[in-house]
Every structure is written in C-alpha cells, then in structure tokens.
C-alpha cells in the first residue's frame, strides 16, 4: 500500500513539475542572456541580410531604405499630455523599427541618431497610458526593440533612461492589473497578445538588469498567452474578424519570435491547435474582388501583412508569402512612381518581415488551397468560391458563432456574395469608435439590452440575416456550421441558428450552396413555437434593385444579378420591400451612400414550419 501511495505522489509531483516547467523560467534567468542585439535577430543574422541576393530580399532592403530615409525628414511627433497615446506610440514604433534596422543593416549613423532621438522621446513621457493598456503594449514593443537593436551604440546614461522608462511605464503598471476574467491578462481577445507581447519584448530587452521583474512578466505571459492561442482551435478562424486577426496574431507571432531568439524556445505557443492553420484562414477571407469578408468590427486599412512571411517560413510554404511579396513590390512602385495608384499602406511591423523572409521559399512549389473552407471553432465559418485567382469568380462566405464576444455584431448567419467582379451582398464593417463614444454608446457592452446594438453597423439592421418579429438576435446563443451534404457538384454549409432565435422559434437553419454552374442557393427553414411570427429575410447591397415577376434584379457597374424566389412557390405568400438606407439613422451612425436593404417577409402560423428558398444567378 505504501508503495502505491508513494507511486501516486511521485506521479503527482512529476505532473506538477511538468506543468510548472511550462510556465517557469530558470532561477538563473537573466544571468546568461545573449549579447545585444538578441531580439528577432543577432548580429550574425543581421550581417547576412545584405548577402541575400534573391529578388525579394533586394526589394525588402530597398524598401527599408526608402522608409528610413522618409523618417529622417519626418516631423516631430507631438504626444498628448493626457489620455490615449495609442496612435502616436504606434507611429513612433514604426519609426524606431525601420530606423534601427536600417542602421544595423546599412551602418549609416544618420539612422542611429534619428532612431535614438525617437527612443529617448518616448522614454521621457510620464506614462504610456496604462488606463488603455494597448498603448502600453505598443510603447513597450517600441522601447524594447529600440533598446536592443541600438544597445551597443547608446551611452550608459541613455541605456539607463530607456530601461527606467520600460520599468516605470510598462512592466510595473502591468502588475497592477488583476489576473481575472475581465482583464487583458487572462482573456482571449487581441488585448492578450498585444499587451503580453509588448511587455515580453521589453522584459527580454532588460532581463540582465531587471532579472526578477522581467522573469515575473515573461512567466505571466507564458501562462496566459495560450488563452489567446486557444481561439484558433481547431481550424484557424478568428472570432474578432480579419482586422483584429492581423493585430492579435501579429503580436502572438512577435512573442513567439522574441522568446525563440532571446531564449531559444517558444514554450510551444505555436503548437496551439489551429494556430498554424490560421494563415489559410486569412487567405480564404479574401474574396475574388480583392476585399476581405469584413465581419465584426472590421477596419479598412489596406496594409501589407508581415506575418505572412513568418507563416511561409514556419510552414515552408511559398504560397503564404507570395501575396505579401507582391504587396511589397506594389508599395515600392507607389513610392517611386507618382502615377502609380496608391492602394497599399505599409505596416509598421514591416522591418520584422525582412528578418522573417526565407529566400529558399522562392523555389518552393505553390500549394493550391481548396475552394471550400469550413471552420468549426469558436467562430464557425463557411467559405466557397468557384475558382481561385479569377476576379470574376463567384464567392460566398457565411458566419456562425455568437454575438457575445469582443468586437462582435448582430450578424450570426450573415453572408457576403460576389460574382462577376461585384460584391452584391455586403457587410459594412465597423462603425467609427469615436462617433460611438461621442454619442455616449456603451461601446464594449455586449449584453442583450446594450445600446451598442442601436448602432446601425453593429446591430441587426445592417446584416444579411433572418429576423423574427423584427427582434435582435440572442446574445446567449451560438450557431454551429457543418458542411452541406449535396449532390450534383455543389459545395456548401449548413448553419444551425436555433439557439440564436430560441425565444421565437423551435428550429432555424440556413443552408448556402455554391452550385456547379456558379449559381448560389440560399435556403432558410424554421419551425415556430406557440405564436405566429413575421419572418424577414434581409439582404444589404449598393446595387440598383428592382422587382421582377419571380423575385428581384440587381444591377451594378454594368453587371446583373437575379434573385429568384423558389419557395414559397407563390409570390403572393411573401412581401418584398426595397429600403433606401444611405442616411445615418442615429447620432453615432455614419452615412452609407447608395445602401439599400432588400426585405422579404412572410407570416408563419404557430407550431408550423416555414421556408424561403432563393436562387441567385449572375446574368
């Protein structure tokens, strides 16, 4: 019996030790740190950059010089004395990264002097706005990289000034944040990797000077970053949408690379299930017209995406890097040719992708992605296209998930649809946060009665969804997605919306099929409870809309799309309204020029089934 007890104790201790080891740094942490620069690249790696002779490497370094030269002439950044410092800290971060790397690569002192000036200016700020901790994460990343990359050329006094700012403005304030479900420390949205990532970079930069404090910061990050990593499970989709995917995922990657380069291990952060699939999610989000599925609080930024070069290197896939390299080349053309249209803006993390580019990928075989993508994780998604790399192809995407999540909208079951180079069914993306704040909207309140949902772009009014008696979707529901079992070469998805409308209906299901001849079928079915319902189907568009004998005709930029109502069989069983929605509805709403809403309504008796089948065909 004693042997069994000791055996169980031994197993317990072993499990405890393994768990502890996953989030604990050695007691000697800080004593044997590698020399500076240690973050993202050492001196050997930096020296090799100029020896890389492939065309992409040449273009990346060419752009680095263009950007660094631009920053030499840039106006001084004016920092607000109070309140948000978010945008200015991002701005200076881009400057410090580009100027510091330009100095390390090209060796010209002018880059060092301007980078040092920017770095010392943020070190003199009284704070980095801890009340909005994203600002701190951005400032910590800027200061940490700047200190590390310029360390050997800074005076001792300058080093101490920057280190002191990192401790005072970032590391110590972060320890005042509680480790509870409501804080960025433990939650799973973009704040987690941005804040932990910036702090980790800063802590690694000063680890030899502040080993105890830095150890505490990094151990906490290693402990809680997996919460953010879990959001990619199992297929790589991201619940906050492509905009915040870029933000959160960039800092998640930055943290992985900071740990790898400074400490030699990543604590398996990249091994969270679905994370390495998320680059495919990003590619599937891009429609045929070159715009993304802009669900949730989507911001149009038109930035390049540096982390795609990291994913390309990590997975040895040239196809993940190819679009990014094209954007870099396009941006260089914009900068060097005044007549070239300006469609791409440079991401402030651009210098990091120079370090992540793998020249051998240029010889790698391109992987062809499937035309049908289904994600069943925290955010269920279905994406279908008739073909890749054809701007006239048919593309349709639909989302499930829940309303009760960071940056979410009342858009469960909503879809976008493209054909013939036109997006016919649209999503408007985010409303301007400053407009919402000015209107006293409780911006981050996702409760059922929140006034967030009175905002047109965030609420039910602006999405391609079903409505039951005109009510909002339920925040306590969660819609799942499965692949549709269909014949005759169709691909598609079935979205179970029952929990989203459970107070009104017994069952609600939406099926979307992309058929072999490139038409799209939208099939909605529901079963009412003990009360009769008015069921409304919404379709938002910027096309010209007119009624026909069998449904509707949409016209835009010389193209036409037909909506044919197949069920109910008689058009007398439905009513069709075409509403003009260009003007803002509320104080917080932006205008939406040329916006129309198609509303198809029908009554369904109590304890009955109803359906609406629509066939969509480009003419």
Secondary structure (3-state) at 599: strand
The rounded distance, in Å, linking the Cα atoms of 112 and 155 is 13
In degrees and rounded to multiples of 5, residue 284 shows phi and psi of: -70, -25
3-state SS string for 201-243? HHHHHCCCCCHHHHHHHHHHHHHHHHHHHHHHCCCCCCCCCHH
Burial of 482 (0-12, 13-18, 19+ CB in 10 A): middle
Task: For residue 303, count other CB atoms closer than 10 A to its CB.
Answer: 18
3-state SS string for 328-389? HHHHHHHHHCCCCCCCCECCCCHHHHHHHCCHHHHHCCCCCCCCEEEEECCCEEEEEECCCC
Q: DSSP of 272-326, one letter per residue?
A: STTGGGHHHHHHHTB-TTS-B---SS-----B--THHHHHHHHHT-HHHHHHHHH
The rounded distance, in Å, linking the Cα atoms of 236 and 210 is 36
Q: What are the structure tokens assigned to 177, written together? A: 């944040």
Average pLDDT per 10 consecutive residues for the chain, totaling 619 residues:
38 37 75 94 94 94 97 97 94 98 97 98 97 98 98 98 98 96 94 98 97 97 97 95 96 98 96 97 96 96 95 95 94 91 93 96 80 92 96 98 96 98 98 97 96 98 98 97 88 97 97 96 97 97 97 98 96 95 96 98 96 97
**pLDDT tens readout for residues 125-146:** 999 999 999 999 999 999 999 9
The rounded distance, in Å, linking the Cα atoms of 495 and 525 is 11
The rounded distance, in Å, linking the Cα atoms of 191 and 407 is 12
Q: Of 402, 371, 370, 400, which Cα lies nearest the Cα of 384?
A: 371
Q: Of 493, 523, 514, 247, which Cα lies nearest the Cα of 380?
A: 493
Q: Model's pTM, two decimal places?
A: 0.94
Burial of 110 (0-12, 13-18, 19+ CB in 10 A): middle
What CATH fold (topology level) applies to the domain 372-618?
Answer: Beta-galactosidase; Chain A, domain 5 (2.70.98)
Confidence (pLDDT) at 16: 38
Question: What residues contact residue 603 under an 8 Å CB cut-off, 6+ apart?
Answer: 532, 533, 534, 535
CA dist list (Å): 88 to 201, 482, 535, 552: 19, 44, 48, 48
The rounded distance, in Å, linking the Cα atoms of 545 and 556 is 9
The rounded distance, in Å, linking the Cα atoms of 210 and 573 is 73
What CATH fold (topology level) applies to the domain 30-363?
Answer: Glycosyltransferase (1.50.10)
CA dist list (Å): 2 to 14, 15, 16: 18, 20, 21
The dihedral formed by the CA atoms of 291, 337, 320 and 406, expressed in degrees to the nearest 10? -40
Task: Parse the chain into domains and list their residue ranges.
Answer: 30-363, 372-618
Q: Of 289, 283, 210, 198, which Cα lies nearest the Cα of 248?
A: 198
Confidence (pLDDT) at 4: 39
Q: State how beta strands 466-468 and 422-425 pair.
A: unpaired
Confidence (pLDDT) at 129: 97
The dihedral formed by the CA atoms of 400, 401, 407 and 410, expressed in degrees to the nearest 10? 60
Confidence (pLDDT) at 450: 98
Confidence (pLDDT) at 22: 57
Burial of 46 (0-12, 13-18, 19+ CB in 10 A): middle
């Amino acid at each position: 019996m004693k042997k069994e007890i000791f055996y169980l104790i031994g197993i317990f201790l072993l499990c405890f030790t393994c768990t502890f080891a996953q989030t604990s740094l050695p007691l000697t942490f800080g004593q044997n740190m590698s020399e500076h620069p240690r973050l993202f690249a050492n001196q050997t790696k930096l020296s090799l950059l100029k020896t890389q002779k492939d065309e992409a490497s040449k273009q990346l370094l060419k752009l680095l010089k263009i950007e660094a030269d631009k920053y030499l002439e840039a106006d001084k950044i004016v920092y607000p004395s109070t309140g948000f410092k978010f945008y200015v800290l991002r701005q200076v971060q881009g400057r410090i990264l580009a100027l510091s790397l330009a100095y390390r690569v090209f060796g010209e002192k002018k880059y060092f002097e301007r980078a040092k000036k920017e770095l010392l200016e943020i070190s003199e700020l009284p704070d980095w706005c801890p009340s909005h901790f994203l600002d701190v994460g951005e400032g910590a990343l800027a200061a940490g990289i700047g200190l590390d990359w310029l360390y050997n050329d800074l005076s001792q006094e300058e080093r101490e000034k920057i280190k002191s700012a990192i401790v005072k403005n970032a590391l110590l304030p972060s320890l005042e944040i509680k480790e509870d479900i409501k804080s960025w420390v433990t939650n799973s949205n973009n704040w987690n990797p941005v804040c932990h990532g910036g702090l980790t970079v800063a802590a690694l930069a000063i680890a030899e000077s502040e080993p105890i404090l830095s150890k505490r910061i990094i151990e906490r990050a290693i402990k809680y970053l997996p919460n953010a990593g879990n959001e990619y499970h199992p297929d790589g989709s991201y619940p906050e949408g492509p905009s915040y995917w870029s933000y959160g995922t960039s800092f998640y990657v930055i943290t992985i690379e900071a740990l790898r380069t400074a400490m030699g291990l990543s604590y398996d952060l990249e091994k969270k299930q679905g994370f390495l699939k998320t680059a495919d999610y990003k590619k599937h989000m891009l429609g045929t017209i070159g715009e993304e599925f802009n669900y949730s609080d989507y911001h149009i930024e038109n930035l390049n995406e540096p982390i795609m070069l990291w994913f390309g290197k990590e997975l040895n896939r040239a196809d993940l890097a190819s679009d990014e390299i094209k954007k870099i080349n396009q941006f260089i053309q914009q900068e060097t040719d005044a007549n070239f249209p300006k469609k791409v803006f440079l991401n402030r993390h651009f210098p990091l992708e120079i370090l992540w580019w793998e020249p051998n990928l240029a010889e790698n075989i391109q992987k062809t992605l499937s035309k049908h993508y289904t994600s069943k994780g925290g955010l269920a998604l279905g994406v279908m296209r008739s073909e890749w790399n054809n701007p006239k192809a048919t593309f349709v995407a639909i989302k499930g998930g829940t309303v009760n999540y960071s940056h979410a909208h009342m858009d469960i079951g909503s879809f976008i649809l493209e054909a013939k180079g036109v997006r016919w069914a649209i999503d408007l993306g985010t409303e301007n946060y400053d407009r919402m704040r000015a209107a006293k909207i409780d911006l981050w309140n996702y409760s059922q009665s929140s006034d967030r949902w009175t905002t047109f772009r965030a609420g039910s009014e602006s999405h391609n969804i079903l409505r039951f008696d005109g009510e909002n979707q339920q925040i306590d529901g969660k819609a799942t997605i499965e692949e549709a079992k269909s014949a005759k070469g169709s691909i598609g998805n079935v979205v179970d919306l029952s929990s989203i409308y459970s107070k009104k209906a017994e069952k609600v299901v939406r099926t979307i099929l992309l058929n072999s001849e490139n038409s799209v079928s939208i099939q909605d079915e529901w079963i009412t409870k003990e009360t009769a319902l008015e069921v409304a189907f919404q379709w938002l568009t910027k096309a010209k809309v007119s009624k026909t004998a069998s449904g509707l005709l949409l016209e835009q930029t010389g193209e036409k799309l037909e909506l044919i109502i197949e069920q109910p069989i008689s058009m007398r069983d439905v009513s069709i309204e075409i509403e003009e929605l260009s003007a803002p509805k509320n104080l917080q709403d932006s205008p939406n020029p040329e916006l129309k809403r198609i509303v198809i309504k029908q009554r369904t008796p109590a304890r009955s089934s109803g359906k609406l089948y629509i066939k969509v065909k480009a003419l």
